[in-house]
Structure 1
Amino acid sequence: MAERVALALQGEILEGRFPPGARLGEVALAERFDVSRGPVRTALNQLAETGIVTIVPNSGARVRELGREDARALYEVRAALEAEAARLAAGRADAGAGDMLDKLLGQHADEVSAHPQGAYLQGPGDRDFHMVIARMGGNPIILRYLTRELYPQLSLLRVKHRNVTGRGQAALTEHRRIAEAIACGDAEVAGLLMRRHIRASWEALEAQLGAVTKETPA
């Protein structure tokens, strides 16, 4: 029951139904999911472990609010883990890796062309370039950290800043270069390009976060 509640709440939080800072009352949630408070408390603790919920003693649980320094730390860890995942993926790439990645990025290209000024949105699982690379890397510890902690927090960050303009074509070009290095089995180049890609994503987000902050009245 706790797992069911946790999955449902995580989905709603990352869809923006519960905005950052929103209170997650145990009693209301228990009534809503028709369970006792025990499974709800366990579910909230699980979400706190992923980094998308904050539990304050004597105050309760709230959706986590990610500030600029939180975002910076997330991107620093992301750069390290995903660069290593790309390096490992290149070392494990088989003959069909290039075609598979090219097909995926072809689908992304159509979507980016349809919304050139929007965010580079990717579907879940096998539709997400970064998730595909992480799985190709074959390191279960890296994959666990990315999927269970880092990616949910990044999704929460996007919920807070859903109006930030995406990099679109630039990010797609960077993805293609990473894919080419992986398909060629060039591990060092794949890792370097992935690290540069994550850094460029952070720099673009940081610049726009600064602009949003200046526009927000005190």
Structure 2
Amino acid sequence: MIPVEHGSAWSALEAELREDILTGRIAPGERLGEVPLAARFSVSRGPVRDALRKLAGAGLVSFLPNIGARVRVFSQEDARALYELRAALESDAARWAARRAGKDQAQGLIALLSQHAEGIAAHPAGAYLQNGKDADFHIVIAEMAQNPLLRDLLADELYPQLALLRRQHRNVAGRGRVALREHQNIADAILNGDDELAALLMRRHIESSWNALRGQLEVGDPEP
């Protein structure tokens, strides 16, 4: 049960709803009615409304006229804008990681990719799963860049939206193996301290990921 105090209730409720959305327990496009949510969490509608507004600010919930709140559904334009921002930010993250990361950190990144390779070899047609922040290639690089503002922007703002976008569209068959090779090339550039190459390869990697996803996006905006 969510705490009854309004100040803490909305925060705890927001965290639980965020988890439900990002794990797919609440699907893209699903309505988020204040009344049923208030009943579910045994709170008044005030904390529910505050939590939904917070999630809307994070790009995970949208409010539509005559419908109310629902889990965000990405249009093709939404997805393109997200990937353009991602390419700009992550190429700089890779550049700074190559300049600032120690050899031990870079070698740890390569060791992480060896673990990823084992998972992909076991399920070559499956998704490229990276469970947990410490096991996510892109989050590790954001940490290695040693820029807290960039790290927080990527980990707290951009990546949750990206996770929701991926929930909306199925995985591209075989993309995991290609992505792994691209990750390995980026990691090698970081290990060698080649900041320009690391940035270039990261940008190409994000653009490749976008091109793979773009073919699955519906033409035009999804129906509300």
Please report the TM-score for the alignment, with normalisation by the length of structure 1: 0.91
Q: Tell me the residue number matched to 1:144.
A: 152
Identity across the alignment (%): 58
Q: 1:166 to 1:13 in 2, by over 3 A?
A: farther
The answer for unaligned runs of 5 or more in structure 2 is 1-8, 220-224
Q: Tell me the residue number matched to 1:216.
A: none
Which stretch of the first structure deviates more once superposed, 18-27 or 158-167?
Answer: 158-167
Residue 160 (structure 2) pairs with residue 185 (structure 1): no
Query: In structure 2, the residue corresponding to 1:109 is in which secondary structure?
Result: helix
Cα contact 1:49–1:149 (8 A) shared by 2: no
Query: In structure 2, the residue corresponding to 1:23 is in which secondary structure?
Result: coil
Q: Tell me the residue number matched to 2:168.
A: 160
Cα contact 2:105–2:144 (8 A) shared by 1: no
Residue 60 of structure 1, CA deviation: 2.0
Show CA shifts across 1:21-56 (max 9, x none): 211011211121122222111111110011010023
Residue 58 of structure 1, CA deviation: 5.6
The answer for unaligned runs of 5 or more in structure 1 is 214-218
Query: In structure 1, the residue corresponding to 2:62 is in which secondary structure?
Result: strand
Partner residue of 1:24 out of 4, 14, 32: 32
Partner residue of 1:35 out of 22, 37, 43: 43
Taking only aligned residues, the RMSD between alpha carbons, in angstroms, comes to 1.6
Q: Which amino acid aligns with 1:45?
A: R
- For 1:140 and 1:148, locate their aligned partners in 2 and report how far apart those are by CA, in whole Å: 11
- Map 1:104-123 to 2 at 5 A: 104-123=112-131
Q: How many aligned positions are there? A: 211
Residue 202 (structure 2) pairs with residue 194 (structure 1): yes
Residue 128 (structure 2) pairs with residue 87 (structure 1): no
Show CA shifts across 1:98-150 (max 9, x none): 32012100110000101111221211200100010011112222222212221
- For 1:60 and 1:32, locate their aligned partners in 2 and report how far apart those are by CA, in whole Å: 18
Q: Tell me the residue number matched to 2:84.
A: 76
